[in-house]
Amino acid sequence: MLFYAMRLNVVNKTLQEIPSLSMYEQFYGFTNKDLGLYVLADNQVAGAVWTRQLNTDHLSNGFVDDRTPILNIAVIPKYRGEGIGSAMMEQFLLEAGALHEKISVSVVRDSAAVRFYERHGFIYYDNGFEEKSPVDGSHVVTMIKHLSIEAVKRPTDGYDPRRWMD
């Protein structure tokens, strides 16, 4: 899913061509600092959303501080425009709120993704320097979302196991 989250399909590149992206997948899930969920459609993974808590040494776009994980989200192209991304984000924000005070994301400036994050309560964060995407050199901005810390709420009424798994 990192392939789609980083828009590599758009620029016709592979993960191996951009070694700096390995920090998002290397040893993912080996710590309780990693959180993610995915959605199924037609009995296959259609999208995923996840966070990775990195540190200053990683030199990652979207980095705010050592306590704020960085968000990635991807929906496989054939499932885009069906509300999958928004549904995943809503559930993920509930889950992340049980663990974190805020999350951050790096977004290509002036893209439709900026509006997506704004709809979900993300705001611009000025980290004091200009960031560029390691994928294609596009200008990117950092956005953050302050989370409500509360107990995890799982969907129970109307829960469709064909749609959600975490």
CA distances from 104 to 8, 9, 12, 126, 155 (A): 21, 23, 26, 12, 25
Longest dimension (CA), the chain: 46
**How far from chain centre, in Å, is Cα 13?**
20
Q: Cβ(164)–Cβ(155) under 8 Å?
A: yes
Is the confidence at residue 31, as pLDDT, over 90?
no
Would you place residue 27 in the very low, low, confident or very high pLDDT band (cuts 50, 70, 90)? confident
- pTM for the predicted model, two decimal places: 0.84
CA atoms within 13 A on the CB side of 93: 17
pLDDT tens track for 52-88: 888 777 778 888 898 999 999 999 999 999 999 999 9
CATH homologous superfamily, domain 2-165: Gcn5-related N-acetyltransferase (GNAT) (3.40.630.30)
Listed by start position, the domains of the chain span 2-165
